[in-house]
Protein backbone atom coordinates (compact mmCIF):
# COMPACT_ATOMS: atom_id res chain seq x y z
CA UNK A 1 0.00 0.00 0.00
CA UNK A 2 1.31 3.44 -0.92
CA UNK A 3 2.38 5.83 1.88
CA UNK A 4 -0.42 8.27 0.97
CA UNK A 5 -2.96 5.48 1.38
CA UNK A 6 -1.48 4.69 4.80
CA UNK A 7 -1.88 8.37 5.72
CA UNK A 8 -5.49 8.50 4.54
CA UNK A 9 -6.40 5.29 6.38
CA UNK A 10 -4.77 6.52 9.60
CA UNK A 11 -6.56 9.88 9.45
CA UNK A 12 -9.90 8.26 8.60
CA UNK A 13 -9.54 5.92 11.57
CA UNK A 14 -8.70 8.83 13.87
CA UNK A 15 -11.63 11.03 12.84
CA UNK A 16 -14.20 8.25 12.82
CA UNK A 17 -13.18 7.06 16.30
CA UNK A 18 -13.28 10.66 17.54
CA UNK A 19 -16.74 11.14 16.01
CA UNK A 20 -18.09 7.96 17.62
CA UNK A 21 -16.89 9.28 20.97
CA UNK A 22 -18.94 12.48 20.47
CA UNK A 23 -22.20 11.02 19.15
CA UNK A 24 -23.85 10.72 22.57
CA UNK A 25 -22.96 14.22 23.79
CA UNK A 26 -22.89 16.11 20.48
CA UNK A 27 -19.83 18.03 21.72
CA UNK A 28 -17.20 18.04 18.98
CA UNK A 29 -14.51 20.39 20.29
CA UNK A 30 -12.30 17.33 20.65
CA UNK A 31 -11.53 17.75 16.94
CA UNK A 32 -9.72 21.00 17.70
CA UNK A 33 -7.41 19.12 20.05
CA UNK A 34 -6.86 16.47 17.39
CA UNK A 35 -5.99 19.03 14.70
CA UNK A 36 -2.30 19.26 15.57
CA UNK A 37 -2.06 15.61 16.60
CA UNK A 38 -3.52 14.64 13.23
CA UNK A 39 -0.34 15.81 11.51
CA UNK A 40 1.64 13.51 13.77
CA UNK A 41 -0.68 10.70 12.69
CA UNK A 42 0.00 11.54 9.03
CA UNK A 43 3.77 11.75 9.50
CA UNK A 44 3.94 8.60 11.63
CA UNK A 45 1.86 6.63 9.13
CA UNK A 46 4.22 7.70 6.35
CA UNK A 47 7.30 6.73 8.34
CA UNK A 48 5.83 3.30 9.01
CA UNK A 49 4.87 2.84 5.35
CA UNK A 50 8.32 3.71 4.03
CA UNK A 51 10.34 2.16 6.84
CA UNK A 52 11.81 5.34 8.36
CA UNK A 53 13.59 8.40 7.01
CA UNK A 54 16.96 10.19 7.07
CA UNK A 55 18.38 12.92 9.32
CA UNK A 56 16.48 15.69 7.51
CA UNK A 57 13.24 13.78 7.92
CA UNK A 58 13.79 13.16 11.63
CA UNK A 59 14.55 16.84 12.25
CA UNK A 60 11.33 17.78 10.45
CA UNK A 61 9.42 15.16 12.45
CA UNK A 62 10.88 16.53 15.68
CA UNK A 63 9.83 20.07 14.81
CA UNK A 64 6.34 18.82 13.96
CA UNK A 65 6.20 16.92 17.25
CA UNK A 66 6.99 20.06 19.27
CA UNK A 67 4.42 22.15 17.38
CA UNK A 68 1.65 19.53 17.54
CA UNK A 69 2.05 18.61 21.22
CA UNK A 70 2.15 22.25 22.33
CA UNK A 71 -0.95 23.12 20.34
CA UNK A 72 -2.87 20.03 21.46
CA UNK A 73 -1.99 20.63 25.12
CA UNK A 74 -3.04 24.27 24.92
CA UNK A 75 -6.35 23.48 23.24
CA UNK A 76 -7.09 20.60 25.62
CA UNK A 77 -6.59 22.83 28.67
CA UNK A 78 -8.64 25.61 27.09
CA UNK A 79 -11.58 23.45 26.07
CA UNK A 80 -11.59 21.61 29.40
CA UNK A 81 -12.40 24.83 31.23
CA UNK A 82 -14.30 26.65 28.49
CA UNK A 83 -16.53 23.91 27.10
CA UNK A 84 -17.81 23.68 23.55
CA UNK A 85 -16.43 26.22 21.10
CA UNK A 86 -19.09 28.79 20.04
CA UNK A 87 -18.40 27.92 16.38
CA UNK A 88 -19.60 24.39 16.96
CA UNK A 89 -22.55 25.57 19.03
CA UNK A 90 -23.79 27.54 16.01
CA UNK A 91 -23.26 24.54 13.74
CA UNK A 92 -25.16 22.26 16.10
CA UNK A 93 -28.07 24.70 16.28
CA UNK A 94 -28.17 24.86 12.50
CA UNK A 95 -28.24 21.09 12.06
CA UNK A 96 -30.68 20.40 14.87
CA UNK A 97 -31.49 16.73 15.34
CA UNK A 98 -29.36 15.83 12.31
CA UNK A 99 -26.18 16.98 14.07
CA UNK A 100 -25.17 13.42 14.98
CA UNK A 101 -24.32 12.69 11.34
CA UNK A 102 -23.87 16.29 10.17
CA UNK A 103 -20.93 16.64 12.52
CA UNK A 104 -19.28 13.60 10.92
CA UNK A 105 -19.30 15.35 7.54
CA UNK A 106 -18.89 19.03 8.44
CA UNK A 107 -16.40 18.66 11.28
CA UNK A 108 -14.59 15.33 11.31
CA UNK A 109 -14.34 14.15 7.70
CA UNK A 110 -13.89 17.67 6.33
CA UNK A 111 -11.10 18.50 8.78
CA UNK A 112 -9.48 15.15 8.08
CA UNK A 113 -9.43 15.94 4.36
CA UNK A 114 -8.05 19.44 4.97
CA UNK A 115 -5.41 17.97 7.26
CA UNK A 116 -4.19 15.64 4.49
CA UNK A 117 -3.85 18.57 2.07
CA UNK A 118 -2.12 20.90 4.54
CA UNK A 119 0.34 18.12 5.42
CA UNK A 120 1.71 18.11 1.85
CA UNK A 121 5.12 19.69 2.75
CA UNK A 122 5.83 16.82 5.14
CA UNK A 123 5.99 14.25 2.34
CA UNK A 124 9.17 15.41 0.56
CA UNK A 125 10.72 16.16 3.95
CA UNK A 126 10.15 12.59 5.14
CA UNK A 127 10.90 10.83 1.84
CA UNK A 128 14.62 10.16 2.03
CA UNK A 129 14.76 8.75 -1.53
CA UNK A 130 13.29 11.88 -3.12
CA UNK A 131 16.14 14.29 -2.43
CA UNK A 132 17.00 16.83 -5.16
CA UNK A 133 18.45 19.72 -3.20
CA UNK A 134 18.28 23.23 -4.61
CA UNK A 135 21.41 25.40 -4.83
CA UNK A 136 21.99 27.07 -1.47
CA UNK A 137 19.81 24.40 0.13
CA UNK A 138 21.58 24.91 3.45
CA UNK A 139 20.69 28.62 3.46
CA UNK A 140 17.10 27.83 2.53
CA UNK A 141 16.85 25.20 5.25
CA UNK A 142 18.20 27.69 7.79
CA UNK A 143 15.58 30.23 6.69
CA UNK A 144 12.88 27.56 6.89
CA UNK A 145 14.00 26.57 10.38
CA UNK A 146 13.93 30.20 11.46
CA UNK A 147 10.42 30.61 10.05
CA UNK A 148 9.17 27.49 11.84
CA UNK A 149 10.84 28.53 15.10
CA UNK A 150 9.51 32.09 15.01
CA UNK A 151 6.06 30.86 14.07
CA UNK A 152 6.01 28.39 16.94
CA UNK A 153 7.19 31.07 19.38
CA UNK A 154 4.65 33.61 18.11
CA UNK A 155 1.80 31.13 18.35
CA UNK A 156 2.80 30.02 21.85
CA UNK A 157 3.29 33.56 23.21
CA UNK A 158 -0.02 34.73 21.72
CA UNK A 159 -1.93 31.76 23.14
CA UNK A 160 -0.40 32.24 26.59
CA UNK A 161 -1.06 36.01 26.53
CA UNK A 162 -4.68 35.38 25.67
CA UNK A 163 -5.01 32.70 28.36
CA UNK A 164 -3.65 35.01 31.05
CA UNK A 165 -5.84 37.89 29.88
CA UNK A 166 -8.99 35.77 30.04
CA UNK A 167 -8.06 34.44 33.48
CA UNK A 168 -7.47 37.98 34.75
CA UNK A 169 -10.31 39.89 33.06
CA UNK A 170 -12.96 37.23 32.67
CA UNK A 171 -15.31 36.79 29.69
CA UNK A 172 -16.58 39.66 27.57
CA UNK A 173 -13.31 41.60 27.30
CA UNK A 174 -11.08 42.16 24.29
CA UNK A 175 -7.29 41.83 24.29
CA UNK A 176 -5.91 44.61 22.07
CA UNK A 177 -2.43 45.16 23.50
CA UNK A 178 0.96 43.51 22.96
CA UNK A 179 0.99 41.19 19.95
CA UNK A 180 -2.73 41.78 19.54
CA UNK A 181 -2.03 45.43 18.78
CA UNK A 182 0.12 44.38 15.80
CA UNK A 183 -2.27 41.84 14.31
CA UNK A 184 -5.65 40.77 15.63
CA UNK A 185 -4.82 37.06 15.48
CA UNK A 186 -1.09 36.52 16.06
CA UNK A 187 -1.66 32.87 17.00
CA UNK A 188 -3.10 32.18 13.54
CA UNK A 189 -0.20 34.06 11.95
CA UNK A 190 2.24 31.89 13.90
CA UNK A 191 0.57 28.70 12.69
CA UNK A 192 0.74 29.89 9.07
CA UNK A 193 4.43 30.73 9.51
CA UNK A 194 5.16 27.22 10.78
CA UNK A 195 3.61 25.62 7.71
CA UNK A 196 5.20 28.02 5.23
CA UNK A 197 8.49 27.10 6.92
CA UNK A 198 7.80 23.43 6.28
CA UNK A 199 6.94 24.31 2.68
CA UNK A 200 10.20 26.19 2.16
CA UNK A 201 12.15 23.30 3.68
CA UNK A 202 10.40 20.87 1.32
CA UNK A 203 11.51 22.92 -1.69
CA UNK A 204 15.06 23.12 -0.35
CA UNK A 205 15.46 19.33 -0.16
CA UNK A 206 13.27 18.21 -3.09
CA UNK A 207 13.80 20.97 -5.68
CA UNK A 208 11.41 23.20 -7.57
CA UNK A 209 9.49 20.18 -8.84
CA UNK A 210 8.03 19.90 -5.33
CA UNK A 211 6.25 23.28 -5.64
CA UNK A 212 2.72 21.72 -5.54
CA UNK A 213 3.26 21.00 -1.82
CA UNK A 214 2.88 24.74 -1.23
CA UNK A 215 -0.85 24.16 -1.74
CA UNK A 216 -0.81 22.96 1.89
CA UNK A 217 0.34 26.17 3.60
CA UNK A 218 -1.62 28.23 1.07
CA UNK A 219 -4.86 26.42 1.91
CA UNK A 220 -4.17 26.77 5.62
CA UNK A 221 -3.50 30.50 5.29
CA UNK A 222 -6.69 31.06 3.29
CA UNK A 223 -8.73 29.11 5.82
CA UNK A 224 -7.23 30.97 8.77
CA UNK A 225 -7.85 34.34 7.16
CA UNK A 226 -11.21 33.86 5.50
CA UNK A 227 -13.00 30.80 6.91
CA UNK A 228 -12.34 29.04 10.21
CA UNK A 229 -9.83 31.42 11.77
CA UNK A 230 -10.39 35.16 11.71
CA UNK A 231 -13.97 35.22 10.45
CA UNK A 232 -15.45 32.63 12.80
CA UNK A 233 -13.47 33.86 15.80
CA UNK A 234 -14.60 37.43 15.34
CA UNK A 235 -18.28 36.50 15.18
CA UNK A 236 -17.99 36.03 18.94
CA UNK A 237 -16.06 39.28 19.48
CA UNK A 238 -18.19 41.80 17.57
CA UNK A 239 -20.33 42.77 20.55
CA UNK A 240 -17.37 43.50 22.84
CA UNK A 241 -16.46 47.11 23.64
CA UNK A 242 -13.73 48.50 21.38
CA UNK A 243 -14.10 45.85 18.67
CA UNK A 244 -14.83 48.27 15.81
CA UNK A 245 -11.88 50.50 16.73
CA UNK A 246 -9.59 47.46 16.99
CA UNK A 247 -10.60 46.22 13.55
CA UNK A 248 -10.14 49.70 12.05
CA UNK A 249 -6.62 50.11 13.44
CA UNK A 250 -5.19 46.56 13.46
CA UNK A 251 -4.71 44.14 10.51
CA UNK A 252 -6.38 40.77 10.86
CA UNK A 253 -3.48 38.43 10.08
CA UNK A 254 -0.62 40.15 8.24
CA UNK A 255 1.25 42.96 10.00
CA UNK A 256 1.28 45.78 7.49
CA UNK A 257 0.74 49.42 8.49
CA UNK A 258 -2.71 50.93 8.20
CA UNK A 259 -3.10 54.33 6.47
Higher pLDDT, 133 or 167: 167
C-alpha pair distances (Å), 204 with each of 45, 151, 197: 23, 19, 11
Residues 206/130, Cβ–Cβ less than 8 Å: yes
Distance CA 78, CA 190 (A): 18
Mean pLDDT over the full length of the chain = 91
Distance CA 95, CA 188 (A): 28
Mean predicted confidence (pLDDT) in 102-121: 95
Residue 164: the pLDDT is 93
SS3 82: helix
Residue 29: the pLDDT is 87
- Percent of the chain scoring above 70 in pLDDT: 99
Distance CA 202, CA 195 (A): 10
Residue 45: the pLDDT is 97
Distance CA 50, CA 30 (A): 30
Residue 118: the pLDDT is 98
Q: Is 164 left (phi over 0), alpha (psi -120 to 50) or beta?
A: alpha
Q: Of 174, 153, 144, 159, nearest to 236 (Cα)?
A: 174
Mean predicted confidence (pLDDT) in 133-138: 82
- Total-model pTM: 0.92
Distance CA 126, CA 71 (A): 22
Distance CA 37, CA 159 (A): 17
pLDDT at 258 over 60: no
Distance CA 56, CA 71 (A): 23
At 113, the pLDDT band (50, 70, 90 cuts) reads very high
pLDDT at 259 over 60: no
Buried b (16+ CB within 10 A) or exposed e, 128-160: beeeeebeebeebbeebbebbeebbebbbebbe
pLDDT tens by residue, 58-110:
999 999 999 999 999 999 888 877 777 778 888 888 888 888 888 999 999 99
Residues recorded for the chain: 259
Residue 257: the pLDDT is 63
Among 21-25, 208-212, 219-223, 245-249, the range scoring the smallest mean pLDDT is 21-25
Residue 166: the pLDDT is 87
Q: Is the dihedral of CA 77, 83, 89, 93 positive or negative?
A: positive
pLDDT tens by residue, 214-254:
999 999 999 999 988 888 888 878 888 888 899 988 998 98
Task: Return all residues near 22 (Cβ < 8 A) that are at least 6 apart.
Answer: 28, 30, 103
Amino acid sequence: MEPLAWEALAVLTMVVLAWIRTVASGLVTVMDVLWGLGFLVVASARLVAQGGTDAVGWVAYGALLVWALRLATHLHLRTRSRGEDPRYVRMREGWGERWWWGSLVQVFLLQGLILLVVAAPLRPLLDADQREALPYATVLMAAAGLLVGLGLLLEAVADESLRRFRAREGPGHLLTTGLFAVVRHPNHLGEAMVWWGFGLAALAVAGWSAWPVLAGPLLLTLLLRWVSGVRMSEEDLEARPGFAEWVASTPALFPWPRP
